[in-house]
Amino acid sequence: MSKLWGGRFTKQTDQLVEQYTASIAFDKAMAEEDIQGSLAHVTMLGKCGILPHDDVDTIKEGLHQVMKRIQSGDMNYSVSDEDIHMNIEKTLIDLIGPVGGKLHTGRSRNDQVATDMHLYLRKRVVTFAGLLVQLQEALLKQAKANLDTIVPGYTHLQRAQPILFAHHLMAYVSMFERDIERLTDSYKRINALPLGAGALAGTTFAIDRHFVAEELGFDRVYENSLDAVSDRDFIVEFLSNASLIMMHLSRLCEELVLWSSTEFQFVELDDAFCTGSSIMPQKKNPDVAELVRGKTGRVYGHLIGMLTVLKALPLAYNKDMQEDKEGMFDTVETLDGALRLFAPMVETMKVNRGRMRQAVRQDFSNATDIADFLVNKGMPFRQAHEVIGKTVLYCIEQNKYLLDLSLGEFQQFSPLFDDRIYEVLQPENVVNARNVYGGTASVQVEAAIRRAEQAIVRSNAWLTEKAAANSLK
Ligand code: ARG
């Protein structure tokens, strides 16, 4: 059989054009979703009396056979059939004969491809939310094991104030919580059915879009047929959400790379998540963290690419929109790879508590606390800041830390100092003094951990519900 749309043509398609316009090389990734959509469509055609039940049964049986071929890797894809939709339809007709040609009644590839992408992305969004929960769990495990591990907190990558290492890790749990929220919120917009919009204007057949929506587990149908076939907001939204996730991962990557350097030695990544050098035998490189950091760039690129494809695109479908897929597939693959590696990498990471503790003792990250000490004695903060600045300068000149100074030395800078500053300056006390909601004091971090655990329970309930909605009928 020639082209499915060949009737109007008297000439063969130029071979280069065929190659250039075909999407089968990549849109075969949505083969299962395409069949899932077709099964619901043809069921509806039968229910509405548009096709006789015998034809519906034959077509469904044929679609199941095509699905088997796809799943067993026996499907023959051909570039001359352009895309996944026509490859499947052609194979169906080859298998069951001309009755297969009835499947496309009341449908266009325009509403079909949009439906496939909604089905495809919906499933992936659930997977990614699940992988983010696993990453949160790995971070929580490390946080719980490090509730008394004190580490310098940084601003400008300069030591600022000591914090619990658990508090630092919990910052990422919060970041990934926002990512989960964004994914679950986007699900509402992904979970709308375009099918039934036809090419752009609807269809002359008395179809039942709501029935198809129910069959496929969509919460609603698109309101406007033009919008249904030309909306790719949900892909932009996904790429944007994916960009934020990658950005968050890349920040953690950067910290892992720094922390595992000889200069820091705060953590050691497990051998299983590092690689060696072909020339320098001593090397253990944090390649996974570096590569996730590096791959963030391509995900941002796909976001900008998609926004640019859609910019100024007139309604409704335009072939430009075929460019929506490769970036989306690549983002799915990139995110999947990163998230699957990240949780075990974090979980198996060894935390060098001794080294962290030593770092906290050999810095001035407790300076704010003696300024606060003077403030509590009645000195205006600005003045206290100046006094402690001078004290620190003196320490640097004397090659000492604040805890090394005698009371006499302290009192050179202010008569308000007394014995209690040695208690105030202890890293544990510095940490626990920040007993404010969301702060680094142990009790606050413990409460944060409990709240995060409750959020995970809520996320898991959502995941269970959506996993059920996504299982193939
Ligand atoms: N492969 C096409 C795409 O991904 C499917 C829709 C084609 N529609 C059309 N009118 N040519 O966009």
The pLDDT tens digits for 141-173 are 999 999 999 999 999 999 999 999 999 999 999
Q: Which atom of ligand 1 is nearest to the CA of 84?
A: 1
Per-residue pLDDT at 65: 98
pLDDT of 473 over the 90 cut:
no
- For the stretch 431-469, pLDDT in tens is 999 999 999 999 999 999 999 999 999 999 999 999 988
Percent of the chain predicted with pLDDT > 90: 93
Average pLDDT over the chain reads: 96
Q: Which atom of ligand 1 is nearest to the CA of 199?
A: 10
* Ligand 1 lined by 111 (C-beta under 6 Å): no
Q: What is the average pLDDT across 337-343?
A: 98
Q: What is the average pLDDT across 119-135?
A: 98
Per-residue pLDDT at 282: 86
Residues marked active site are found at: 156, 277
* DSSP H or E stretch at residue 160: strand 158-164
Q: What is the DSSP string of 441-468?
A: SHHHHHHHHHHHHHHHHHHHHHHHHHHH
Per-residue pLDDT at 117: 98
* Ligand 1 lined by 110 (C-beta under 6 Å): yes
- For the stretch 366-408, pLDDT in tens is 999 999 999 999 999 999 999 999 999 999 999 999 999 999 9
Among 77, 109, 318, 325, say which to mutate for ligand 1: greatest number of ligand atoms within 8 Å of CB: 109
* Ligand 1 lined by 23 (C-beta under 6 Å): yes
Give the Å distance between the CA of 230 and the centre of ligand 1: 11
Per-residue pLDDT at 3: 83
Query: CA nearest 147: which of 124, 167, 172?
Result: 167
Give the Å distance between the CA of 429 and the centre of ligand 1: 64
Is the CB of residue 78 less than 8 Å from the CB of residue 87? yes
Is the CB of residue 443 less than 8 Å from the CB of residue 435? yes
* Ligand 1 lined by 22 (C-beta under 6 Å): no
Question: CA-to-CA distance for 340 and 142, rounded, in angstroms?
Answer: 17
Per-residue pLDDT at 5: 86
Output the CA–CA distances (angstroms, integers) from residue 316 to 196, 201, 222, 320, in the order listed: 15, 9, 14, 11
* Ligand 1 lined by 83 (C-beta under 6 Å): yes
Per-residue pLDDT at 1: 53
Beta-strand ranges (E) seen in 73-191 are 150-155, 158-164
Question: CA-to-CA distance for 123 and 10, rounded, in angstroms?
Answer: 42
How far is CA 433 from its chain centroid? 35
pLDDT of 355 over the 90 cut:
yes
Among 319, 320, 328, say which to mutate for ligand 1: greatest number of ligand atoms within 8 Å of CB: 319
Among 28, 113, 309, say which to mutate for ligand 1: greatest number of ligand atoms within 8 Å of CB: 113
- For the stretch 266-287, pLDDT in tens is 999 999 999 888 888 888 899 9
φ, ψ for residue 205 (rounded to 5)?
-80, 150
- For the stretch 38-62, pLDDT in tens is 999 999 999 999 999 999 999 999 9
* Ligand 1 lined by 89 (C-beta under 6 Å): no
pLDDT of 68 over the 80 cut:
yes
Please list the residues that pair with 163 across neighbouring strands. 151
Question: CA-to-CA distance for 169 and 165, rounded, in angstroms?
Answer: 6
Per-residue pLDDT at 472: 52
* Ligand 1 lined by 316 (C-beta under 6 Å): no
Per-residue pLDDT at 373: 95
